Amino acid sequence: MWQGRFKSCMVQSERYVLIVMHYIELNPVHAAMVEAPQDYRWSSVHTHLARALDPLITPRPLYLAMGSNPNERAHAYRQWLDAGIAPDDLQRLRKYANQERALGDERFQHMVETTLGRPAACRSRGRPRQASLREPIN
C-alpha cells in the first residue's frame, strides 16, 4: 500500500512472457510472504498447476505446449517453477521493469522507440558522457 509506483515493461516474445510469469509467481516467495508459490492465495500459479480454474487467466501457447492435458502441463510447469529463474534472466527482467523499458531484442526495441517516440532500451544511470570537442593540448 505504501510502496512505490507500479512498474511495467513491454515484453517481446513468448520466451520473455514465461520468464515474467515465473518471476511474478515467485515474488511472494522472494518477499518472504510464503514458503512456496502455491501458498499465496491470489496467485495465477493455482491455474498453472491445475489446482483451480480462473476465467481471468488465458493460458499462453508455450504453457499449453508443456503437455497434452492439464495434468501433464501442471507437472511440467511444477518442475519448471521449481528450477527457478536463471540469474541473468532475473537481473535483466528487474533492470527492464525498473526502468520501464521494452524487454526484447534490439530490433523490437527499435520498433518500440520508433512507434512510441520514447526510449525502449536500458541505459546507464546519470547523464551520458559527451566526447570532448577540443583536441588535447600538447
pLDDT in tens, 98-136: 888 888 888 888 988 999 888 888 877 777 666 655 555
Residues 45 and 77 in one domain: yes
Nearest Cα to Cα of residue 9 among 87, 100, 70? 100
Residues 51 and 68 in one domain: yes
Is 92 a member of any domain?
yes
Is 35 a member of any domain?
yes
Residues 43 and 68 in one domain: yes
Residues 67 and 40 in one domain: yes
Is 76 a member of any domain?
yes
Is 9 a member of any domain?
no
Q: What is the pLDDT of residue 6?
A: 65
Q: What is the pLDDT of residue 102?
A: 87
Q: What is the 8-class DSSP label of residue 41?
A: T
Specify the pTM.
Answer: 0.68
Residues 114 and 73 in one domain: no
CA distance 41 to 138: 69
CA distance 25 to 117: 32
| Amino acid, single-letter form, for residue 116 | L
Q: Which residue has the higher pLDDT, 71 or 85?
A: 71
Q: What is the domain count for the chain? A: 2
Q: What is the pLDDT of residue 1?
A: 40
User: 113 is in which domain, residue-wise?
Assistant: 86-120
CB 48 within 8 A of CB 63: yes
